Structure 1
Amino acid sequence: MTTVRRCAAALAASAVLGVALAPAAHAGGDVPVTPAPSASSPAPDASSPSTAPSPSPSKPASGGLPAGLYGTKDPTYDGVWRQSLALLGQYTGGYKPAKAAVTWLKGQQCANGAFPAYRADPTTPCDTTTAVDSNSTAAAVQALSSLGGQRPAMRRAVAWLRSVQNADGGWSYTPGTPSDANSTSLVIGAFTAAGVRPSSVRSPEGKNAYDALVGFAIPCEPGADAGAFAYQPDADGRLSANEDATGAAVLAGLGKRMVTAPVPPGPAPDCVRTAAPSPERAARNGAAHLVSALGPSGHLVQPPLPGTDDSTPLPDVGNTADAVVALAAAGYGNQAAQALEWLKTNAAGWAEENGPAAYAQLLFAAHATGTDPRDFGGVDLVQRLNATGPTPTPLPSASASATTASAADDAAGPVLPWAVGTALVACAGLGLLIRRRGRARRS
């Protein structure tokens, strides 16, 4: 879900600083939030100045990185993103994140509710140069929803997301730019985690997130792109398959977030052509595309970077993990089995290089498929994630999950044998075509 997001985050920051249920079945009550803007009341400026510092911010530690932050690499473009995934991964693995880690994440929030990719000094209030974005904000909401007692921060974030919804019902990475499938999908997951029906959040033009999401779906016509989702239309309005966007949109079309419990597998998905597909139908068409894209190799590939001489496609580990989550969440775990085995054999080095968010992605794949994350191809994903930041504490029992902020659609999934006695999370969880995960995801 995140290959292109980190690269676009860098560009967005530079630009700002230089200038298996259908969605309707999710009936969670709306969180009381600031009303969405009406046609007569324009949305607030996405980067409107904050008037107060965030609560209990963490200052940089002596080594240069903030206390409480996971990972050791430069957090400029992914600090909030990797922290959010790390917290989700820990809770999924049966651990309560350290207070310092939660404090750091909450300290990144601006007074208007938005989160930036990273701000080095959270004691300084956000202003018009603070590069807030929908992806960091949506990921933070999904992470906070797993912790319990985080409603005030979640309400502010949801209110800000409402305020920057585009006319087509979707979201872009940077407010004020055209909607994209990845950002829209992440926001759908955030609303679901917060107990807000995504279909109830409408733009002044009456469009909701699913209206925008279906607009990125490629029809089921002959061709390799059939059923896939595009990140955005090109300059001529054409849609081209993007595996990152497709994995994200499959989850969103089913009303799910980044972390999902196992769903009993059923028959393989088909790409069914309809004149006006529902969000669920579009998601299942996307799943059919992912099965085809995984192919005999059992993994997705990323194209070579522009300007390089080597044209050999490289395995795309991160998007393969996301595809496994999407397929398993849609009830197509059998079709993800080969990809899961490929990840067990090939993903350890990638995760070690890319850090907390990468380990979290693999944890999500293990969780969605009912796989023991402590023996993922011989690797203890939980231990390795925990080692990248402040030490968490084991959750005492599965009943601890009752503190989860949202009533989860995924909670009805079977309790996994390896997870008896631990909390299993049911809630949670850019705009470039450069999809090289090693460069796109800093951790």
Structure 2
Amino acid sequence: MRMYDLIDKKKNGGALSAEEIRFMVQGFTCGNIPDYQMSAMLMAICFSGMDETETLELTLAMKDSGDTLDLSGIKGVKVDKHSTGGVGDKTSLVLTPMVAALGVPVAKMSGRGLGHTGGTIDKLECFPGFCTALPEEKFMENVNRIGIAIAGQTANLAPADKKLYALRDVTATVAQRSLIASSIMSKKLASGSDAIVLDVKTGNGAFMKQEADAAALAETMVKIGNMAGKKTAAIITDMEQPLGNAVGNSLEVIEALQALRGEGPDDLMEVTYALGAQMLLFAGVTEDRAHAVKLLKQTITSGSALHKFAEFVKAQGGDPEDVMIPGRLPVASEKIEAKAAADGFVTDILAEQIGVACMTLGGGRETKESAIDLSVGICLKKKIGAPVSRGDVIAEIYANDKTRGADAKKLVEDAYRYGEIAPEKRQMIRKIITE
């Protein structure tokens, strides 16, 4: 078998067999197939596409390229949740302790932020002493003992995906549905869960800007998961503006803790309840979505979710008092006010630009090696639909550098759009896909 022949076959619209795909993935991962040939294959896939079977086989080959987690030692149905990435998306921090408090085990591998989107692991490291590099035995022990553990992805989890993504990133082959779906699902399948709930973002702050594209990606990933024997669902959620009010690692953690105290922004809680309800349905806690939401809300009013989060932080080396006592987490020293440029109503907020503003402050990564400042960020004071007068404070910028703060202020102010008529309220949950 020759890579040349496979490239020629895909270039001419042919379907690759499971054997051919495994030859390609294994050869590239171990270095036998050079970058220039894989680049040609990726471009051929962009032009010719892949069918459902090819996409599944690519996902499985990438999953099997490295380590896979065996979670059979954890009691109960393990349900994983994944977000395609957005601005201000701290749902995992709110959702996981709520689900764990209801007896559903949370054994989650999470990633770091890159570009304008944040990562759960970075946010958790706002707690001094918190360890995200758990040995597998400790990871399993924590889930069995307290019901929750969240750790960074191991270096050898789906290594083919890491190599392929690095190549896609520099060859203009990122935005291809089968390649995106296989990248996400290979890691989810390797993580060992029994069921998977996907939060697929759509809007100007999401990877998929158009809802139709987000729906097509969601359907592809759900098919992959189901064909691989995992219960899988996708919920398409709005990312036309940042989720919640806080953007930036420590500020987002603080907002998540407020949410666990019953003070969460409506949009954040709506998305959290939708994702959590699907997780409870998959875990067999209830068969009714409305009842699932009711159970989730009870974990907030009873305080059980907040106490579960404190227990989780302690189990991974942090101080539970940082959870229970507001104001202990680091926040940047300089506060700068961004102000409205017109009278009327906020009609749009360019979410991606808000994310870039946070990066400008030092709160995000341009490359995987970039160091980040966990204490900087942006707190939005006006969201879409809010009435404003010229000069009103629309956001507060927390900076440790005045020059960066001034640059971020301009980006934030330029991200807002105004009109004379209030826009209709946005629908946060666009669609739920289970088949």
TM over 0.5: no
More strand by proportion, 1 or 2? 2
Higher relative contact order (CA 8 A, sep 6+): 1
TM-score, structure 2 length as denominator? 0.31
